[in-house]
Structure 1
């Protein structure tokens, strides 16, 4: 449809736009039509002067403004007819006998021009399709053959005078192209007034977008955000990190099994001094319901007992040893263990080490 010639409204030059759209080219200007209107005024003035230049009719005619044009750019139907005559075209009222069956079968004609008050518009066939070339529209409007008769009837109902164009219209590029490739129009053109109002709204907001454009942009943004893969990956990484932290906390917060530690300690002393330890173990087994105390005082008492047992073992080993310094070393090491504030497990390991050293010295 780009090949179709269509002039948009400028001032009140709708007659010029109507003719050029009909002929599919810039064949007439406002000056050309004004010249034709002036010629018609001269002819009418000459006719009125036949009754005398001093007659009342002639003087009144001279005082009145032109009926064929005005300062706004309006031109009369006589000017239009005179301009068409240059191209050997005639305009016939659709309801006249000369128009024949044009009102019944309008699709058989080649073009129509329509006038309402000071506005003119063209309806023309290009290729095998009809188009409304109204200069008040933003572009050509495609009209089907079925809708053509209803469209003309609607114009007549609104007060338009419709003229059938008879004669040979000049060849044009749009006519040739549309015979080969028919036009397809998905959205009809808007009125220039509506388009201008929309543009003013965009300018008043300071942003070249409408509410519809903004809504579409917001919906597209929501779709991209919801479908963004990075968000899912980030959430998964956070969950894994939290789980790892929970595992570390649970592992670090697990309490030391005091019973297991005490059993290991007693087993060690049983190996060093079987008699007293076995009786102690038996007493522990006889009262399984008693919960061992983990207070600091009890731990000190147990450490003192361990010291005594270690000293006893050290004294026994000293009797058979040729090096009396072992006893002094054992006492010093035991004292250091008690004074260092070591944990039970660390003391147990140190005591085991001391026992092994004493046994090695015996052998």
Structure 2
């Protein structure tokens, strides 16, 4: 398949792509096709002038745009016909009465060019196989012999004009290679726009997934920061209570001097030495109150249960 010449769509130059894909090479450029179109325009002008350059028909003709080309890159069937004439090739309308009377099987032809709404493309036999060389495809599309007639009938039903190429096409590498071998196509080519849309869709899904992953990571990091903050707060409370318990134990012993000996660290010693007697008394009382809270709660709960289980005196 790599040996098959296949120009892909650029702008509205489908007529150029159609011709070059048919001839299997870069035989025509927009400049050359424009030159043919201008020559045709001049021939038409001269024919119109034969009726008189002062006639209303001639003035109207001069005001109309060219029917053989436009600024977008479109070229008429007359331009294509003249371009093929350089190579001794002619075109015949496929569904014309003259051609249908010949009763030629399409697989015995060499090539077709198709047109619908100013779009041109080629269907050509290379070796013993048929290929759709539409410039809107990402690559050549293999067409089986049994499907060729159905393919052309479907195009006609969709409104395409089909022309048969008559004459000897120039030799090409793909035709030489495919005469001695056949190719298989595992996957049909897509339309260029469809292929691009799929790539964009895949990229959008990838970007969305990445954004979601980042969002999840941000949430996880936020939860971790909260957990660390709570842990540090809990550790600070535990450290403070540990210092307070040691201070209370020392105060209850009635000795402040052994603090430096019983303290676990220099940090503990400095922390406790800075406590005044009043503050130490207040913290000790708060500590005792917290120690008695669970006991009081249990007693109140037990009393409630007991009361609920007694009966009034009879």
Question: How does the TM-score come out when normalised to structure 1?
Answer: 0.56
Q: In the TM superposition, what are the counterparts of 1:309-320 in structure 2 within 5 Å?
A: none
Instruction: Assess if the C-alpha contact under 8 Å between 1:94 and 1:102 holds in 2.
Output: no
Equivalent residue number for residue 93 of structure 1? 93
Q: Deviations over 1:7-65 (max 9, x none)?
A: 11111110000000000000001111111101000000011011111111111000000
Query: Corresponding residue for 2:59?
Result: 59
Give per-residue Cα distances to partners, 1:261-315, cap 9 Å, x unaligned: xxxxxxxxxxxxxxxxxxxxxxxxxxxxxxxxxxxxxxxxxxxxxxxxxxxxxxx
Q: Aligned to 1:99, what secondary structure does the other structure show?
A: helix
Specify the alignment match of 2:74 in structure 1: 74
1:117 and 1:102 map into 2 onto residues whose CA distance is 28
Secondary structure class of the residue paired with 1:26: coil
Tell me the distance in 1 between the aligned counterparts of 2:97 and 2:157. 20
Q: What residue in structure 2 maps to residue 178 of structure 1?
A: 178
Q: Report if aligned partners of 1:94, 1:162 keep a CA contact under 8 Å in 2.
A: yes
SS across alignment from 2:52: coil
C-alpha displacement at 1:98, in angstroms? 3.8
Q: Equivalents in 2 of 1:18, 1:155: separation in Å?
A: 16
Divergent runs of 4+, >3 A: 100-104, 202-209
Instruction: Specify the structure having the higher radius of gyration (Cα).
Output: 1
Deviation at 1:82?
0.5
Q: Distance in 2 between matches of 1:162 and 1:124?
A: 12
* Mapped pair 1:125 → 2:128: no
Q: Which residue of 1 aligns with 2:21?
A: 21
Distance 1:103 1:24, change over 3 A: farther
User: C-alpha distance in 1, partners of 2:169/2:102?
Assistant: 17
**Structure 2: distance between partners of 1:42 and 1:24:** 30
> SS at 1:91's partner residue?
strand
Alignment map for 1:39-54 (pairs within 5 Å): 39-54=39-54
Structure 2 Cα separation of the partners of residues 81 and 103 of structure 1 = 23
Tell me, which stretches of 5 or more residues in structure 2 are unaligned?
210-314
**What corresponds to 2:8 in structure 1?**
8
- Structure 2: how far apart are the matches of 1:13 and 1:184? 29
SS at match of 2:165: strand
For 2:150 and 2:104, locate their aligned partners in 1 and report how far apart those are by CA, in whole Å: 11
How does the TM-score come out when normalised to structure 2? 0.64
The residue aligned with 2:262 is none
Q: Structure 1: which 5+ runs fail to align?
A: 210-363
Rounded to whole Å, the distance in 1 between the matches of 2:102 and 2:124 is 14
Cα root mean square deviation, aligned: 1.7
1:1-363 to 2 correspondences below 5 Å: 1-100=1-100, 105-205=105-205
Shift of 1:175: 0.3
Give me the whole-angstrom Cα distance separating, in 2, the residues matched to 1:172 and 1:101. Answer: 31
Name the residue aligned to 1:303: none
